[in-house]
Amino acid sequence: MINSIKLLIALLIATAFLGGCSASNAPEFNTWKSHQQLYQASNKLKIGDIIVTSKDWTSPLSWFGHSAIIVNKYKVGEYPQFCTGYYETDVILWLSKKKKFTVLRYKAFNKKFTTAFLKNISKTKHKQYKIVEKTDNSAFYCSQYIWYLYWKTAKDLGYDLDIDADGGYFVTPYDLLNSKYFDRVLFTL
C-alpha cells in the first residue's frame, strides 16, 4: 500500500512537471462558492453538471482539485480515491464536506444527450479507481471518468467531443474547469 501511494505521488509530480496536465499551469479559478451557497442552490443542479473543487495543498491526492458529476436530482457520482470504485452519495451530504467549488454545465446538454449520458453512467460505474490514459475505460479516476462520459456520449450520438482543455494524455479537474464546452453555473442567492 505504501509503495502504491509513493508511486501515485511520483506519477502526479512527474505529470505536472512534464506538462501532461494543465493543473500546474491553470490559473486559480476566482469565483469559487462555499458549500453553504451550493446547499442553498442544490435544487437547481441538473444531470450532467460537474462540480469541481478547489486545490488542497495539504494532501497530494488533492493537489489537482477534485471533480464529481450530478447523476440525478439528489445524487453525486464520482471515483473518489484508491481502493474505492464508483461511489454515489447524496448531493447535500457530499457538498457539506467540501470547502470551495464551482459548477460547470455542458452547453449542448439536451434530452437526447441526457438519455445517452445516463446509459453510459450505468455501463461505467462498476470499475475500479486507477490512473489510466483518458480513453481507457478499464478503470477511472475522478476527472477522467467525467471526460469519458462526455466523450463516449458524444461518440454514441455521432460526433467528436474532447472536453479536456489542453487535450493531454491525462485529464484533470482543472482541464474541465478551463474547457470551452462548459458554462460556469452562477447561482443567485
The pLDDT, as a whole number, for residue 100 is 76
- φ and ψ at 91, to 5 degrees? -60, -40
According to the model, what pLDDT value does residue 92 have?
Answer: 80
pLDDT over 70 (residue 16): no
**In the chain, where are the structural domains located?**
2-184
CATH number, domain 2-184: 3.90.1720.10
The set of cell numbers assigned to 11 is 506519477
Mean pLDDT, rounded, for 98-121: 90
pLDDT classification of 62: cutoffs 50, 70, 90: low
Neighbour count for residue 6 (Cβ, 10 Å) = 10
User: How far separated are the first and last CA of the chain, in Å rounded?
Assistant: 44
Residue recorded with cell 453553504: 36
User: Where do runs of H (alpha helix) occur along the chain?
Assistant: 2-18, 35-41, 91-96, 111-124, 142-156, 173-177
